[in-house]
Amino acid sequence: MSEAKINVLVKTRDGHRMIADAIDEYLETLAPAVKQASVASAVKEETFGALKFEPQQGAKIGSYEVAYKANNVEDKWVHAYSVLRQSNATINARYRGQAYVYSYWLYGEGKIYRQKLKTST
């Protein structure tokens, strides 16, 4: 490969890095909900799928599931809990990514909640 082609590739790579850095800076200035959505897409749902959830039924929200810290592998549970904690995931501001099957949230200590997303037909 010629030196000219290598220089073009290096400059293209560096230009893309500069663009990515500028976009990251801009995302930091956006509203927390938009920022949370970008973070949610970065974490795969398998992070939560590795947990053991138990079915529950609520009068207001219907069917949902709970993963209890004591019933799960410590490091997997702590990682999933940390993602939700950092995202301030609550029942009113649930954590989910673009292709997620469930939404996730925290309430109380030692529990992670999830509920299947409604599908539009």
pLDDT in tens, 57-88: 999 999 999 999 999 999 999 999 999 999 89
DSSP for the chain reads: --HHHHHHHHHHHHHHHHHHHHHHHHHHHS-HHHHHHHHHHHS-THHHHTS--EEEEETTTEEEEEEEGGGS-HHHHHHHHHHHHHTT-BTTB-B--TT-SEEEEE-SSSEEEEEEPPPP-
- The verdict on residue 23 lying in a domain is yes
Domain housing 61: 31-116
Same domain membership, residue 58 and residue 110: yes
Mean pLDDT of 35-44: 62
* Residues 60 and 91 grouped into a single domain: yes
Same domain, 57 and 107: yes
Residues 71 and 95 in one domain: yes
> Cβ distance 109 to 52 under 8 Å?
no
Both 106 and 55 in one domain: the answer is yes
Looking at the structure, tell me whether residues 108 and 69 fall in a common domain: yes
Residue 103: is its pLDDT beyond 70? yes
Tell whether 107 and 96 lie within a shared domain. yes
* 51 torsion bin: left (phi>0), alpha (psi -120 to 50), beta (else): beta
Q: Say whether pLDDT at 39 is over 60.
A: no
Calpha distance 62→64 (Å, rounded): 7
* Mean predicted confidence (pLDDT) in 86-100: 91
As a whole number of angstroms, the distance between CA 80 and CA 87 comes to 11
Domain count, the chain: 2
Same domain assignment for residues 19 and 54: no
Supply the pLDDT for residue 95.
93
Verify that 10 and 51 share a domain, yes or no.
no
- Do residue 48 and residue 26 come from a single domain? no
Q: Would you state the structure tokens that stand for residue 67, as one six-digit string?
A: 């993963």
Q: Are residues 46 and 71 in the same domain?
A: yes
The answer to whether position 121 is within a domain reads no
